[in-house]
Structure 1
Amino acid sequence: MKAVIIGAGEVGYHIAKSLYATNDVIVIEQDEEACKRADELDVQVIQGNGANASILSQVIKGTDILMAVTGSDEVNIVACMASKLIIGDKNKLKTMARVSNPDYIDKPIAKRTSIGIDVMICPELTMASEVAQILAIPSAIDIESFAEGKVEMMELVVSKESYFANKMMKDLHLADCCIVSAIFRKDDVIIPHGGDSIQENDHIVVIGQPSAMKDIRGLLGEVVGRRSKVMIIGGGIVGFYLAKLIGKSEADIKIIESRKDRCEEIADELSGVLVLNGDGTDINLLKDEGINEMDVVVSVTDSDEKNLLCSLIAKKLGVKKVIARSDRSDYISLFEMVGVDSAVSPREATVNEVLKLTMGKGIEAITTIEGQKAEIIEYTASSKSKIVGKPLRDVKFPAGAIVSMIVHKGRTIVPRGSHVIEENDRVVVFALPTALEAVEKLFK
C-alpha cells in the first residue's frame, strides 16, 4: 500500500513507524528537525507544506491513503480536500484529517465525505472518552469496548492486596464469559496458561462481557454506583469534554484552570461543576479544595511537564489514583515509572484509527496497549477466512496470539479448542506485534 503522511510530529512519526515496514510511505513535513527524525525510518521525506497543491500533485498518484496530522486543523482539512480533487478517483483514495477545534468536530471520530474527508478524528476528544471510561472503574488503567459494546477489555495493575495477587490462572474463579488474556511483567508479555501465576505489580488484561466486568469490580472490593470525587487540572478541550462526559455519571467534579476567561466559559456551559481559577501546582489551593479526599485527580493541561508535576503533588497529598496527559510518547513510561497510575496520549487514538484503516477488510476495531507492546483487534470473519469452519485446535494459530472472545449472533463466548468460528462472527484477538501478519492472513 502507498501511504502519504502530512506532518511528522509525534502523531505523524509514530504512524510512519507503524506502517513503513510493509508499506510504501511518504512523509511531508515543513520543520527541518522533524524531517531529520522521520528520515531515520525507511521512508521518503519531503520538506514542504503538505497543503501545497504542487507538492501533493507530485506524490498523490497511486496513493491508497493520505493522513493529514499536522498541528494545524486548516492545513489538514485543505490537504485532504485538495488530494481528492487532484486524484480524481475519489473512491480509491482514503483520507484522514486530525482536527482539534470543536467548531469542526463535536465527537471523537466523524465522517465528512461530502468535503473529501473519509475520517476526521479529534485525538483530544478521543482521549477524554478513554479517560472517562477509566474513571468508571477505579481499579482500571485502561478500558476499551469491542463488538458494539458486547465485549470489554480492562487493564489492571495488581496490587499486594488484589484478589489476583499470587494466584495461579487455574485457581481464578472468573465468570465463564471472562478471560485473562495477557500478563505484562516488566519487559515481558505472557499469554497465560493454567500453570502461570499472577504476581504483585503485574499488569493484566481481562476481556469479557460488561456484566462480567462488574463481577470483577466486586472481587476487587469496589462499591458499584458510589458517587466519586474527581478533580480535573486543565480546562482545555480535553478537560472540558471529560467533565461533560463524567458529569452524566453523577460524579462530584472540580476543575482548576489558570485562564479566567476560560473558567467563565466552562462555568456557563457546565452546570453542577465547580470551576476554580488557579494554578494546579499551587499546593495551598489543592489542600484548601480537599485534594486528599479526591478519588481521582486528572491532569490534562497542554504541558507534559506541568501534568507530571501536578500528578506527583497529588500523589504526595494522598490521592490514590492519578491520571496524566502526555503528548510526548517517550514521557509515558517515565510518568508511570515515577508513580502516575495511567499516562494517556492523544497520539494513541490517532495511531489506532490509522491502523484500522490500513490493515485491511474485516477489521472492526483495533487498540494498542502498553506502549504498542501488543494489540487487541476485532475481526469480522468472512466465508473466505481460513479460521472459519474448523475447530480452533486445528487452526495453525501463531505463537504470541490468542482468540480471547467471540460474539456469535449476539452471544458472547470464551472459546475453547473445540469451538468452530462461523461466518460473520466477531472475533477479538490479543496479539504481539510479531504475530500480527500471521493472524491477519487467517482472516483474509
Structure 2
Amino acid sequence: MKVIIIGGGEAGFHVAASLSRKNDVIVIEKDPEACERVGELDVQVIQGNGADVKLMQQVGVKKADLVVALTGVDEVNIVACMGAKLLSRRVKTIARVSNPDYINEPVDHRKELGMDVMVCPELSLAREIAQVVSIPAALDVENFVDGKVKMVEFEVKEGHDIAGKKLKDAGLPAYCIVAGIFRGDRLLISYGDDVIQPGDRVVLVGELDALDLIQARFGELAGRKRKILIVGGGQVGLYLLEELTKADHEITLIEIDQERCMELAERYPDVLVINGDGANLKLLKEENLSEKDVVVAVTDRDEKNLLCALLAKQLGTRKAISRTDHADYTTLFEMVGVDVAINPILATVNEVMKFTMSIGVESLVNIEGTRASAIELIAKEGSEIVGKQLKDARFPRGALVSVIVRGEKVIVPSGMDVIEAGDRVVIFSYPDTVEKVEKLFE
C-alpha cells in the first residue's frame, strides 16, 4: 500500500513507524528538525506544505491508496484531505481534527467533505480517562462490540484473594476470562494452569455484569460518586469535563488562564473551577488531595503533568492519571510513580492501522503501549475460521479468542465452541500475531 502522511510531528512519526514495516510511506513535513527525525525511519521524507496541491501531485497522490493528514492545524488537515480527493477519487483519507466545532466523536466520517475518517486524539484521550476514572482500581479500560464487551486491566496486590491461585481456581464469574497477564516486562497469554502472582497486571475481557462483579473484588463498587481533581482546562480538559459531568461526581478543575476559567465555570456550573497553577504545592495542599479519589493532569506540557501527578501521590490521592504527548514516555511516567499515563497519539495510530487492515476489522487497541493487541473482527462466510470447533482451527500461538458475540449473546468460548458467520470476535494477541489472526477471518 502506498501511504502519504502529512505532518511529521509526534503523531506523524508514530504512524509512519507503524506503517513503514509493510507499506511504501511518504512523509511531508515543513519543519527541518521533524524531517530529520522522521528520516531515521524507512520512509521517504519531503520538506514542504502538505496542503499544496502541486506538491501532492508531485509525490504521486493519484497512485496513493491512503492519505493521512496529522499536522497540528485542523484546517490544514481538512484542506489536505479535500485536495487529495479532488486529485484522486480512489484514495482514502484520514484527518486529525481537534476542534469541537468540527467533531463530537473520537472517530467520525465526513466523506461528503473529502474525509473518509476524522480522528480526534484529544477526545479519544478524554473518553479513555473517563473510563479509567469510572473504575478507580483499573489501569486501562476499553469497549468492544458496541459496548457489549469490556476489557479491563487490574493490578493484583499482595494479599488479594486471587494471588497465588491458578486461573482455573480463581473463581471468576461466568462470561469473563483473563486474556493476558503482564508480569514485569513479560506478557503471558493466559491458560487455566497459569498462577496469578502479586504484582501481576491481569487483563480481563467479558460482559459488563461480570466485570462489575470483578470490580467489586478489587475493592471498588460500580457507580459510586467520585471526588475528582482535573489540572488543565485546555481542549482535553474540556472534553474530559464533558464526559465526567454525565455522572454524579464531585469535580474540581484548576486552570492557570483566568479567561478560560470564566468560560469553563459558566459552561459547567456544578464544577468548582479554580484559577491557579496546578503544580503549586500550596494550592494542592489547600485542596486536601488525600480526600480525592482521582487526580488527572491534562495540561499541554508533559513535565507539568508529571509533576502534578507525583505531587498528588505524595499528598495522598488514591490514583494519579497523567497525559503525556510523547508515546515513549508512558512507561517512564509509570515507573516513577504515576498510576496511569495515557498518550493521545496511540488512538490515532490504532485507527490508521485498522484502516490498512482487511475488511471485517471493527476495532484495534494496543495495550501497555504496543506490548499487546486486542482486535475485534467480524467472521465472514467462507473464511477459514467459520464452521470449525476452535480446538480444530489452526489458530496461531500467541493469540486467544477471548469472547464471541452472537446477536445479543456473549460467549466465553471453550475449544468445543464454533465461530459462525456474522459473529463478532474479540481476540487478545501479541502484536506480531495479529496478521496471522487476520488471515483466518478473510
Determine if the TM-score, normalized by the shorter chain, exceeds 0.5: yes
Aligned pair in 2 of structure 1 residues 6, 428: CA closer, same or farther (>3 Å)? same
2:272 is equivalent to residue 285 of structure 1: no
Aligned residue in 1 for 2:322: 324
Aligned residue in 1 for 2:74: 73
Aligned residue in 2 for 1:305: 303
Task: Tell me how far apart the structure 1 counterparts of residues 282 and 163 of structure 2 sit (CA, whole Å).
Answer: 37
**Maintained 8 Å contact 1:163/1:220:** no
2:20 is equivalent to residue 20 of structure 1: yes
Task: Tell me how far apart the structure 2 counterparts of residues 61 and 250 of structure 1 sit (CA, whole Å).
Answer: 51
Deviation readout 1:197-237 (Å, 9 max, x if unpaired): 11222211100001111010121122233211000000111
Higher deviation after alignment, 27-36 or 78-87: 27-36
**Maintained 8 Å contact 1:80/1:97:** yes
Counterpart residue identity of residue 197, structure 1: V
Counterpart residue identity of residue 79, structure 2: V
* Aligned-residue offset at 1:424: 0.4
Aligned residues: 441
* Aligned-residue offset at 1:33: 1.9
Structure 2: stretches of 5+ with no match in the other structure = none
Counterpart residue identity of residue 137, structure 1: I
Aligned residue in 2 for 1:44: 44
Aligned residue in 2 for 1:122: 120
Aligned residue in 2 for 1:62: 63
Partner residue of 2:158 out of 157, 160, 181? 160
Task: Tell me how far apart the structure 2 counterparts of residues 162 and 255 of structure 1 sit (CA, whole Å).
Answer: 34
Task: Tell me how far apart the structure 1 counterparts of residues 392 and 224 of structure 2 sit (CA, whole Å).
Answer: 47
Task: Tell me how far apart the structure 1 counterparts of residues 358 and 61 of structure 2 sit (CA, whole Å).
Answer: 20
The sequence identity of aligned pairs, in percent, is 53
Aligned residue in 2 for 1:142: 140
Task: Tell me how far apart the structure 2 counterparts of residues 77 and 224 of structure 1 sit (CA, whole Å).
Answer: 40
Higher deviation after alignment, 213-222 or 332-341: 213-222
* Aligned-residue offset at 1:118: 1.1
Alignment of 1:37-436 (within 5 A): 37-58=37-58, 59-87=60-88, 89=89, 92-436=90-434
Deviation readout 1:130-176 (Å, 9 max, x if unpaired): 11011111111111111111110001122224333222212111122
Counterpart residue identity of residue 361, structure 1: I
SS in 1 for 2:230: strand
Task: Tell me how far apart the structure 2 counterparts of residues 161 and 353 of structure 1 sit (CA, whole Å).
Answer: 39
Task: Compute the RMSD of aligned alpha carbons.
Answer: 1.1
Counterpart residue identity of residue 398, structure 2: G
Task: Tell me how far apart the structure 2 counterparts of residues 371 and 398 of structure 1 sit (CA, whole Å).
Answer: 22
Aligned residue in 1 for 2:435: 437
Task: Tell me how far apart the structure 1 counterparts of residues 280 and 162 of structure 2 sit (CA, whole Å).
Answer: 38
Higher deviation after alignment, 300-309 or 238-247: 238-247
Counterpart residue identity of residue 31, structure 1: D
Structure 1: stretches of 5+ with no match in the other structure = none
TM-score (norm 2): 0.98
Task: Tell me how far apart the structure 1 counterparts of residues 362 and 403 of structure 2 sit (CA, whole Å).
Answer: 14
Counterpart residue identity of residue 67, structure 1: V
* Aligned-residue offset at 1:355: 1.4
**Maintained 8 Å contact 2:65/2:91:** yes
Task: Tell me how far apart the structure 1 counterparts of residues 165 and 322 of structure 2 sit (CA, whole Å).
Answer: 30
Counterpart residue identity of residue 50, structure 2: G
Task: Tell me how far apart the structure 2 counterparts of residues 6 and 254 of structure 1 sit (CA, whole Å).
Answer: 38
* Aligned-residue offset at 1:278: 0.4
Deviation readout 1:250-286 (Å, 9 max, x if unpaired): 0000000000000000001012000000011111111
